[in-house]
Structure 1
Amino acid sequence: MEKTKPAVRRRATALPRGTRLSVQNGQLLVSTGVPSVDQAIGGGLAVGTVLLIEEDAHSSYSEILLRYFFAEGVVSGHGAYVASGAVKSTGVELIETLPALCSDTEKSQESKDDMKIAWRYRDLPEMKQSASAQFGHSFDLSRCMDSKEVEKTSVDIFDCNPHHRCDHLIDSLSACIDKGKYGTAISSVEKRNVLRIGIHSLGSPLWSDMTNKISILRFLYRLRGLVRSSYAVALVTIPTHLFRDEAFVRRVEHLSDVAIHLESFEGSEKEKNPVYKDYHGLFHICRLSRLNSLACHLPETTSLAFKLHRKKFAIEKLYLPPDASETASRSKGSGSGNCGSGTHAGKAALEF
């Protein structure tokens, strides 16, 4: 009889810091810094992809997500590349105002506060949070991260000015990837690291030729090709409301892997609507990644809203409160809609 060979146990491959494998398609994932956003887009942001955030017209919630994105990178030991075209916040200001990491005591207190919800929502399912201690962290928006912690991270800042063009930014990104050895050609597993690329307000007036629609589309196409061939993830925010072109917005979303739109209630009619009093805006998922799969991740629900607390930014399921006025109107009009005679209409209840 032939002797059976003992099974060879494969050695687990070491993953880069702050990453994990997706249980759905085996893709390498990183956290966006907000656990509820990770859950909404399929567990995290896949390495080699581009996340597009369509900015809100009246506020700067996209900038908060960008700070979370880089804060998670600092804690995980990832590299950072920042380019900002916003007037109020430059790349240096973004890095200097990253939210601080929450302590274990603050996390336990935060979980207790989350349990204090309205009685009508008590039995409804909630957005799941990341269970892994090595993936995703909680941050406090009321405090800034210590500058000594930020200095431990390799940060490259692209100073935007009207003289810079699309080619300058792409060349700078390529040089950063080569210098930091973030390319996929690196053979040493221990030396692999992830580069987080953050481009704020792409297409704003400070971006010179990138205010042109064709230049923006060409840049996104080259950016995705650059990210695909490296251990990098990119978060790009675009003020799509400035262009007022639905066809252009759809093309921009098509050139990204994950696209979300933040619809703020500030300055709109929904701000005064009592139905949305518990939220600050709607969270629209426009596109999800389809890497290594025939279909994209299907979220539990697409009715999502965001709320900015004093210490955190959270994505929640949109729960509309029951309409108590409908019951009141029925009780008031019960006497006027009877089938009695004209003389007794509205004076007595019907008897059956």
Structure 2
Amino acid sequence: MAFRKRNVALGGSTSNAAAAPASKPEGAPGVKPSPFTSHPVTSTGSSSLDSLLGGHGGLSLGSSLFIEESGMTDYGGALLSYYAAEGLCQGHTIHLVGMGDHWIRELPGVAAQKSSSRREQSPADEEKMKIAWRYERLGQAGERALPIRQPPGQTSIPQEEVPFCHTFDLTKRLTLPKDAKINHIQISRDAQPFDPILQSLSRSLSTSPPNTIHRLIIPSILSPGLYPPHACIPQNFLRILHNLRALLRQHHTKLTAMLTLPLELYPRSQGLVRWAELLSDGVLELTPFPHRMDAYTEAAKPNEEQPQGMVKVHKVPIDTERGEGGAGAGNSMGEDLAFTVSRRKFAIKPFSLPPMEGDQEAQAQKEGAEKPAGNAVGKLSGKDLEF
């Protein structure tokens, strides 16, 4: 009788099977597989924005997010600050274009976590929770649970894990780690203003370890205060987007990018902006409200914050040929979305106008007039069914 070793792939050598997982970013901090396609994703720093990106729970590695904003506000800059702060908390390499150290010093700090009920429990209760957790893995009807397979070289599961998405407070300032990796890239005034960005990014990607995650941040691209006038020429602007797309595809396990564009200077009706949207993996548009909504404030709940504007999702990153974008539980792609910037978070949620107060009174009067007296049940006529 012939015997063979277990856990050995048929028709393949042991050395190839052991060397295959080395190229995957499973050991990289702040990275988890997508629940839909198992592609590695990283957080943008906002949990509501993570849930909006095609249902992947984050921004897929090897993809870019293009944020457009109308008006004179800078809500897109708040998303960039969350994106950069999350990368520094996870130990990622930050590539910042056109901004100095003052932009890094203004990043929001991590909000103080409230004490959980588990810490306030007695040692006896904690022991009961541990025992219940052990039996919970057995399943129902005496079912036997499969053992958790450990990665090679790891003997136990770490007890304290870094959260995938941190909660930030805009009133606080982020304390930079001692080993923070920040690459400041200056904008050139030469004929090719975007060449230093590509050269510095390519050099850092080629010399960094395989499990290092890189985040490229370009605030207010093509803004006259940061870029020379010839930067908006299609030969220059579209060239960097083409090259950036190539770098994202080449380093699809370690690079993400986020850019912002002011629509007041470059509206979406221009072909230059439409080409930029085609070359980007995800496109969001922020439209701030021009004034406060008094009707919404009066009808809102006491603890509910007033939204500052609308969010339009023009494009989401697609990782497979089947799409797999926007499907799943909690999908809000077909609804009107609004964003709210508070001192603790940047939240995106479905938006709907509250009913008018006058209409409610008229409806109540009509229902009271048509309600039959006593317990008698009135019969509906054809006139009542007409709209």
- The answer as to 2:170 corresponding to 1:141 is yes
Q: What is the 5 A alignment of 1:21-60?
A: 21-41=33-53, 42-60=56-74
Structure (1 or 2) with the larger CA radius of gyration: 2
| Structure 1 residues 58 and 332: CA distance shift in structure 2, 3 A | farther
Q: Are the counterparts in 2 of residues 202 and 210 from structure 1 also a CA contact under 8 Å?
A: no
Cα distance in 2 for partners of 1:236, 1:283 equals: 16
| Structure 1 residues 311 and 331: CA distance shift in structure 2, 3 A | closer
In structure 2, the partner of 1:15 is: 27
Gap regions ≥5 residues in structure 1: 85-89, 109-131, 183-190, 335-352
In structure 1, the partner of 2:216 is: 197
Cα distance in 1 for partners of 2:39, 2:286 equals: 26
Cα distance in 1 for partners of 2:52, 2:116 equals: 21
Q: How much does 1:243 deviate? A: 1.9
Q: Compute the TM-score of the two structures, normalised by the length of structure 1.
A: 0.74
Q: How many residues are matched? A: 293
Q: Choose from 110, 119, 122 the match for 1:101.
A: 110
Structure 1 stretches of 4+ moved >4 Å? 1-5, 7-13, 329-334
In structure 2, the partner of 1:305 is: 338
Q: Are the counterparts in 1 of residues 248 and 255 from structure 2 also a CA contact under 8 Å?
A: yes
Letter in 1 for 2:212: N
Letter in 1 for 2:108: P
Q: How much does 1:161 deviate? A: 5.3
Cα distance in 2 for partners of 1:36, 1:312 equals: 9
Cα distance in 1 for partners of 2:339, 2:116 equals: 20
Q: How much does 1:323 deviate? A: 2.9
Q: Are the counterparts in 2 of residues 264 and 282 from structure 1 also a CA contact under 8 Å?
A: yes
Cα distance in 1 for partners of 2:346, 2:326 equals: 23
Q: What is the 5 A alignment of 1:172-321?
A: 172-178=200-206, 180-181=207-208, 192-205=211-224, 206-208=226-228, 209-230=230-251, 231-246=254-269, 247-265=271-289, 267=290, 271-272=292-293, 274-275=295-296, 278-298=306-326, 300-302=331-333, 303-321=336-354
In structure 2, the partner of 1:120 is: none
Cα distance in 2 for partners of 1:333, 1:25 equals: 53
| Structure 1 residues 139 and 200: CA distance shift in structure 2, 3 A | same
- Give per-residue Cα distances to partners, 1:61-81, cap 9 Å, x unaligned: 111111111111111010010
Q: Are the counterparts in 2 of residues 21 and 29 from structure 1 also a CA contact under 8 Å?
A: yes
Instruction: Judge which range, 233-242 or 157-166, deviates more.
Output: 157-166
Cα distance in 2 for partners of 1:312, 1:330 equals: 38
Cα distance in 1 for partners of 2:309, 2:84 equals: 23
Q: Are the counterparts in 2 of residues 22 and 43 from structure 1 also a CA contact under 8 Å?
A: yes
Q: How much does 1:293 deviate? A: 3.7
Cα distance in 2 for partners of 1:167, 1:310 equals: 37
- The answer as to 2:78 corresponding to 1:64 is yes
Q: Compute the TM-score of the two structures, normalised by the length of structure 2.
A: 0.68
| Structure 1 residues 172 and 3: CA distance shift in structure 2, 3 A | closer
3-state DSSP of counterpart to 1:242 = coil
The Cα RMSD (Å) is 2.8
Q: Choose from 82, 97, 103 the match for 2:96.
A: 82
In structure 2, the partner of 1:153 is: 180
Q: Are the counterparts in 1 of residues 64 and 256 from structure 2 also a CA contact under 8 Å?
A: yes
Cα distance in 1 for partners of 2:324, 2:115 equals: 35
Q: Are the counterparts in 2 of residues 33 and 72 from structure 1 also a CA contact under 8 Å?
A: yes
Cα distance in 2 for partners of 1:244, 1:74 equals: 33
Letter in 2 for 1:99: P
Q: How much does 1:137 deviate? A: 1.1
3-state DSSP of counterpart to 1:143 = strand
- Give per-residue Cα distances to partners, 1:176-234, cap 9 Å, x unaligned: 323x426xxxxxxxx51101110111111121232224422221111111122121111
Q: How much does 1:259 deviate? A: 0.9
3-state DSSP of counterpart to 1:284 = strand
Q: How much does 1:331 deviate? A: 6.7
Q: Are the counterparts in 2 of residues 53 and 235 from structure 1 also a CA contact under 8 Å?
A: yes
3-state DSSP of counterpart to 1:63 = helix
Cα distance in 1 for partners of 2:268, 2:352 equals: 31
Gap regions ≥5 residues in structure 2: 10-16, 118-160, 301-305, 368-387
Identity %: 27
